[in-house]
Chain A
């Protein structure tokens, strides 16, 4: 139970999904990453991964760049400043909630 007058933070529903959270965290550690690398790291299927990345893109948290390298298609994802700020905010909210849960 939270103390009266203490407002607990809401967790961002776009980031809260496990796969989307994993994707944003992976992209936080690199400058840009290929779709195939993200698939390997998360162990996700192409369809699910594509759908979750699209949700992150629609939220403005990642940008996508499609190009050809040596005639092979390459899809690169980058985290935006908005995405980085949202992840930071999410981590702070998590810590605050975790603190409350430990006290309860």
Chain B
């Protein structure tokens, strides 16, 4: 076999291996839509709360967001191969989501509703999730989001309830809505020129 193989052919084989391995690794599905969905859900819950339905607004909105995430997530991930990267990042977000939901629901049901406590918990948890996945993906933009959530969590501990709410809504806008749209645009650009390898 080696006597019939030229240097050019060998190089082509090596290039093919590198291209295909990269194709496989980049095939994890995009999750930009989920940042956007949760950002919108937070705004809906906040607006609903301002209308005076404090008791129902957050549990109902968050439950609907969870159901929508599960439905859209299962459709988006269909046909995509699972990678170690994808599973690691997905695990961080799933565990964070479940923990946040249980802890906040517990606080709400027990009657210890306090926006400063909520802000500290949400900000801290989202800082951990964004920070961890940004370090795995080496994604500076997401690392900035992690820092913003951390800042919002700390800032929310100070000042009045209104100031805490403004810090929370600002973090949601930049780290969920703007970041979600940015991630979706990046993903669309990344996928656009790609076709079959035709080997």
Give the size of the chain A interface in residues (CB under 8 angstroms): 36
CA distance A36 to B196 in the complex (A): 12
Cross-chain contact A101 with B10 (CB below 8 angstroms): yes
- Nearest-CB residue, chain A, relative to B87: A31
Cross-chain contact A25 with B16 (CB below 8 angstroms): yes
- Whether, in the assembled complex, A8 has its beta carbon less than 8 Å from a beta carbon of chain B, the answer is yes
Q: Which residues of A contact B67 (CB under 8 A)?
A: none
Cross-chain contact B1 with A10 (CB below 8 angstroms): yes
**Bitwise interface map of A from 1 to 44 toward B, beta carbon under 8 Å scored 1, else 0:** 00000001111010010110110011111111110110011111
CA distance A44 to B27 in the complex (A): 18
- Whether, in the assembled complex, B112 has its beta carbon less than 8 Å from a beta carbon of chain A, the answer is no
**Bitwise interface map of B from 11 to 31 toward A, beta carbon under 8 Å scored 1, else 0:** 101101111111111010000
Cross-chain contact A10 with B2 (CB below 8 angstroms): yes
CB<8 Å pairs between A and B, sample of 29: A8-B2, A11-B1, A16-B1, A21-B199, A25-B19, A26-B24, A29-B21, A29-B23, A29-B25, A30-B24, A30-B83, A31-B81, A31-B84, A36-B79, A37-B81, A41-B20, A41-B27, A42-B196, A42-B198, A43-B195, A43-B199, A87-B17, A94-B10, A94-B13, A97-B5, A98-B7, A98-B10, A101-B6, A102-B7
CA distance A41 to B17 in the complex (A): 13
CA distance A10 to B2 in the complex (A): 6
Query: Which of B1, B18, B82 is the one whose CB lies under 8 Å from A30?
Result: B82
Cross-chain contact B7 with A31 (CB below 8 angstroms): no
Q: Which residues of A contact B21 (CB under 8 A)?
A: 25-26, 28-29
CA distance A91 to B2 in the complex (A): 14
Q: Which residues of B contact A36 (CB under 8 A)?
A: 79
The tally of CB-CB contacts under 8 A between chains A and B is 105
Chain B interface, >50% SS class: helix
Cross-chain contact B197 with A43 (CB below 8 angstroms): yes
* Residues 76-104 (chain A) with a chain B CB within 8 angstroms: 87, 91, 94-95, 97-98, 101-102, 104
Query: Which of B13, B14, B196 is the one whose CB lies under 8 Å from A41?
Result: B196
Residue in B1, B17, B22 with the greatest tally of chain A CB atoms within 10 Å = B17
Q: Which residues of A contact B17 (CB under 8 A)?
A: 21, 25, 87, 91, 94
Query: Which of B5, B14, B22, B80 is the one whose CB lies under 8 Å from A91?
Result: B14
Q: Which residues of A contact B81 (CB under 8 A)?
A: 30-34, 37
Residue in B7, B81, B198 with the greatest tally of chain A CB atoms within 10 Å = B81
Q: With both chains docked as a complex, state the minimum distance between the C-beta of A11 and any C-beta of chain B, in angstroms.
A: 5
Q: Which residues of B contact A43 (CB under 8 A)?
A: 195-199
Q: With both chains docked as a complex, state the minimum distance between the C-beta of A49 and any C-beta of chain B, in angstroms.
A: 10
* Residues 74-133 (chain B) with a chain A CB within 8 angstroms: 79-84, 87
Cross-chain contact B82 with A25 (CB below 8 angstroms): no
